[in-house]
Structure 1
Amino acid sequence: MAVTADRITREFSPNSPSTPNHREMVIDSTRKAEYWLAKQLDKAGITLNGSNPWDPQIHNRQVFHRVLSEGSIGIGESYMDGWWDCEQVDELMTRAMTAQLDETLTGRWTFIKHWLAARLMNRQSIKRAFQVGEQHYDAGNDLYTAMLDPTMAYSCGYWQEANSLHEAQLAKLNLVCQKLQLKQDDSVLEIGCGWGSFAELAATRYGAKITGLTISKEQKRLADERCNHLPVDILLQDYRHHDGLYDKLVSIGMFEHVGQKNYDTYMRSAHRLMKDEGIFVLHTIGKDKSDLGTDPWIDKYIFRNGAIPSLRQISAACEPYFVVEDVHNFGQDYDRTLMAWHDNFERAWPMLSTAYDNRFYRMWSYYLKCCAGSFRSRSLQLYQVVLRKRLTPMDRYKSPR
């Protein structure tokens, strides 16, 4: 039976036949938690055990306690444990985030803990930088090969004229190359090279010489295999330890791991590594609001120590070092990209299930659909920012004009 706040209120009203008077009414804590959650979900047109595909179906009523006490971690972990299901988790999240329920359901104390950690600690220090590689990107090349398209691009595709995931990823990679004004023999540093998708295309189609940095052993292994016949050098190295001087810089889907305390270090490093008049294309997920921290469930299970920047935070970090020449937002394309990845993951699950258990399946499916819902609600964006190196006053004086 569908559970709504109105129905719960009627059941426990003073006039209810089962409750002679209000003082004698006893509402157990589970029912209180259920009432609270139903009331919140009503604001987004979501009904517990309702008939719509975005309505959650409850299998274990202890989920209400878990959501109330643990916020987003409780929501995600209870889904992983099979305590609730939903036909369209992506649409559930879209509606919840459009109604800003994420601010209510995150869990006050969990949110405060993550906010304080982001403010007081450098969660993306050099010492901690390799944690996300070990947790997420080293999960298994079999998983990513099955889920991604043949380019192995693990970032938003560009769907303007694309009819498939592969076409969308090729369009994105070519778009980046065009914004870089890439030409034969350009030296390019890619900060966060993934499995070599950009490096392979830029070297093959444009004749560029690529140096790629990654913090994942599995990414480096596969990228080396894919680019072994090309002028591509893949290094297992943090960007803060790299030296060199390059014509162009690119970073696709890596800035989300930098963290607010390191934005200045990141931009200063990029400035140091770029030749005068160089071009830097920064491709990153962005938030619609400037704040600290990240979703606690995503932080625990998917992207350890991640931090999604707002456009204001990106601009402030760039200002001392670069001139912003162009900002391109195509965040809605990430919804389509994520759902395409999910379709691939579903089709590949019979094969993957020999290496991964059902809890991992539920976790991964939940991750992809939740993120799709976040972009669909426009709570998350996708920015491509084109930057030109800002010269110091002395450098400008010395430069020929």
Structure 2
Amino acid sequence: MHSEQATLSRPQGPQPQPAVDPPAVLRELLARADVQIGGSRPWDMRVNDGRAFRRILTQWSLGAGESYMDGDWDCERLDMMFERLLRAELDRTAPGLARLKLLAESLRQRLFNLQTVERAHQVGERHYDAGNDVFEAMLDSRMIYSCAYWEQARDLEQAQEHKLEMICRKLELRPGETLLDIGCGWGGLARFAAERHGVRVTGVTISKEQLALAQQRCAGLPVTLLLQDYRSLEGRFDKIVSVGMFEHVGLKNYGVYFDTARRLLAPEGLFLLHTIGVDRSAPHTDPWIERYIFPNGKLPSPRELAGALEGRFIVEDWHNFGTDYDRTLMAWAERFEAAWPRLAPQYDEGFRRMFRYYLLSCAGFFRSRQGQLWQLVLTRPDRRGVYRSVRPGPAAA
């Protein structure tokens, strides 16, 4: 067990006093994952209000998350519970009315483009603009909000630095080159690439809060940061990088996204795409994540991603280190819990439970291996240079 996992505090709240016996259908479904209602193991569910049963059975994932936020139930180790639920594929086994609601959501996502230019700023406003103080407390000093690389790292700070150096080495950055950072966040990668590798960086984000802090952090460097949608970008760049942004593009926009990247990339250039993925194609996004964390998000499957790349880019390298996201999320959760006493005056208990549920359920998602983390190195079909895949060794430390 990672040290980050072992030091999380127990959730605060009333001790379980189930108002009614759990419905047999719910008890039987959870038993498939070796999760008990009212059990004593760290991954068991402890119910504080019997209304949780109705909310879960009628709304499944959304009902479970909302009732947890409201304090209807608790679990000492949410990460362990979700690993078991997802390995048993209970996310794909919704009962009765909940199944109908998921089918309706699948139909909505298939029929409509939820990631249009007009809707693109919603995720920035709802999640990334939540408050820089939360992310400053939770993340490393560079505020890198994506999976770290832990192979040779001692802690989160070093793991994120190793990830940034690995990206720069995969891109073969050289002094004087131009780098486009699609989804630049708080500017951590842009600053690292400019300082360590001497490149000129243009970064775009859809979050006003991210932009303001990123501009402060990159002041005095050859870094230009813009509040702009990727589809309106112009110019030509030697290298392109996109870390943790593709999850917001949406299946209906994959073609436009890769066509835009190909148009912006120099013929001999390299494009590194860093994205979360899923082990198989999913008809819809998790409803709770969609409503409370990442509106309009969509995680690609290998087939969906490969299909969009076909005819547009050559896949030079496809690197999966999804298990490292488990450890990254557990480190973030530990830091968030430690910082809560100073964050509490600005945020209520519902916000704390929401963020805790988000971080730990996602840790279980990656631990179950449903969740993947991919770095792809892509080149235009007309590139003549030979690319040699990079994996970090002692030099990365």
TM-score (norm 2): 0.90
Give me the whole-angstrom Cα distance separating, in 2, the residues matched to 1:109 and 1:179. 45
User: Partner amino acid for 2:317?
Assistant: D
2:10 corresponding residue in structure 1: none
Give me the whole-angstrom Cα distance separating, in 2, the residues matched to 1:123 and 1:377. 28
**Is it true that 1:113 corresponds to 2:93 in the alignment?**
no
Give me the whole-angstrom Cα distance separating, in 2, the residues matched to 1:109 and 1:345. 36
**Is it true that 1:101 corresponds to 2:90 in the alignment?**
yes
What is the Cα deviation at residue 117 of structure 1?
A: 1.6
Give me the whole-angstrom Cα distance separating, in 1, the residues matched to 2:54 and 2:282. 28
Structure 1 vs Structure 2 CA RMSD: 1.2
What is the Cα deviation at residue 49 of structure 1?
A: 0.6
User: Partner amino acid for 2:55?
Assistant: R
Give me the whole-angstrom Cα distance separating, in 2, the residues matched to 1:177 and 1:292. 34
Query: Is the partner of 2:60 in helix, strand or coil?
Result: helix
Pairing partner for 2:217 from 226, 236, 244: 226
Give me the whole-angstrom Cα distance separating, in 1, the residues matched to 2:54 and 2:67. 11
**Is it true that 1:179 corresponds to 2:167 in the alignment?**
no
What is the Cα deviation at residue 110 of structure 1?
A: 2.5
What is the Cα deviation at residue 314 of structure 1?
A: 1.1
1:40 corresponding residue in structure 2: 29
Runs of 4+, deviation exceeding 6 Å: none
Cα pair 1:124 1:257 within 8 Å, conserved? yes
Give me the whole-angstrom Cα distance separating, in 1, the residues matched to 2:160 and 2:177. 22
Cα deviation code 1:318-374 (max 9, x no counterpart): 122110000000000000000000000000000000100000000000000000000
What is the Cα deviation at residue 97 of structure 1?
A: 0.3
Give me the whole-angstrom Cα distance separating, in 2, the residues matched to 1:141 and 1:267. 30
**Is it true that 1:85 corresponds to 2:97 in the alignment?**
no
Give me the whole-angstrom Cα distance separating, in 1, the residues matched to 2:252 and 2:101. 21
Give me the whole-angstrom Cα distance separating, in 2, the residues matched to 1:109 and 1:126. 30
Pairing partner for 1:330 from 311, 316, 321: 321
Give me the whole-angstrom Cα distance separating, in 2, the residues matched to 1:142 and 1:105. 37
Give me the whole-angstrom Cα distance separating, in 1, the residues matched to 2:283 and 2:213. 34
Cα pair 1:158 1:333 within 8 Å, conserved? yes
User: Partner amino acid for 2:70?
Assistant: D
Give me the whole-angstrom Cα distance separating, in 2, the residues matched to 1:286 and 1:148. 22
Pairing partner for 2:116 from 113, 125, 128: 125
Pairing partner for 2:199 from 208, 216, 223: 208
Cα pair 1:71 1:110 within 8 Å, conserved? no
Give me the whole-angstrom Cα distance separating, in 2, the residues matched to 1:61 and 1:318. 48
**Is it true that 1:50 corresponds to 2:50 in the alignment?**
no
1:265 corresponding residue in structure 2: 256
What is the Cα deviation at residue 57 of structure 1?
A: 0.2
Query: Is the partner of 1:294 in helix, strand or coil?
Result: coil
Give me the whole-angstrom Cα distance separating, in 2, the residues matched to 1:34 and 1:59. 15
User: Partner amino acid for 1:161?
Assistant: Q
2:4 corresponding residue in structure 1: none
What is the Cα deviation at residue 112 of structure 1?
A: 1.4
What is the Cα deviation at residue 160 of structure 1?
A: 0.4
User: Partner amino acid for 1:126?
Assistant: V
2:231 corresponding residue in structure 1: 240
TM-score (norm 1): 0.89
Aligned pairs (5 A) from 1:56-75: 56-75=45-64
Query: Is the partner of 1:235 in helix, strand or coil?
Result: strand
Give me the whole-angstrom Cα distance separating, in 2, the residues matched to 1:291 and 1:85. 28
Cα deviation code 1:364-401 (max 9, x no counterpart): 0000000000000001000000101123xxx99xxxxx
Aligned pairs (5 A) from 1:143-222: 143-222=134-213
**Is it true that 1:275 corresponds to 2:257 in the alignment?**
no
Query: Is the partner of 1:303 in helix, strand or coil?
Result: coil
**Is it true that 1:296 corresponds to 2:287 in the alignment?**
yes
Cα pair 1:141 1:218 within 8 Å, conserved? yes
Pairing partner for 1:357 from 348, 352, 362: 348
Identity %: 52
2:390 corresponding residue in structure 1: none
Give me the whole-angstrom Cα distance separating, in 2, the residues matched to 1:112 and 1:204. 49
Give me the whole-angstrom Cα distance separating, in 2, the residues matched to 1:296 and 1:109. 13
Cα deviation code 1:14-64 (max 9, x no counterpart): xxxxxxxxxxxxxxxx75x62111101111111111010000101111111
What is the Cα deviation at residue 105 of structure 1?
A: 3.7
Cα pair 1:324 1:386 within 8 Å, conserved? yes
Query: Is the partner of 1:371 in helix, strand or coil?
Result: helix
Structure 1, gaps ≥5 residues long: 1-29, 397-401
Give me the whole-angstrom Cα distance separating, in 2, the residues matched to 1:322 and 1:85. 46
2:377 corresponding residue in structure 1: 386
Give me the whole-angstrom Cα distance separating, in 2, the residues matched to 1:390 and 1:101. 41
User: Partner amino acid for 2:333?
Assistant: H
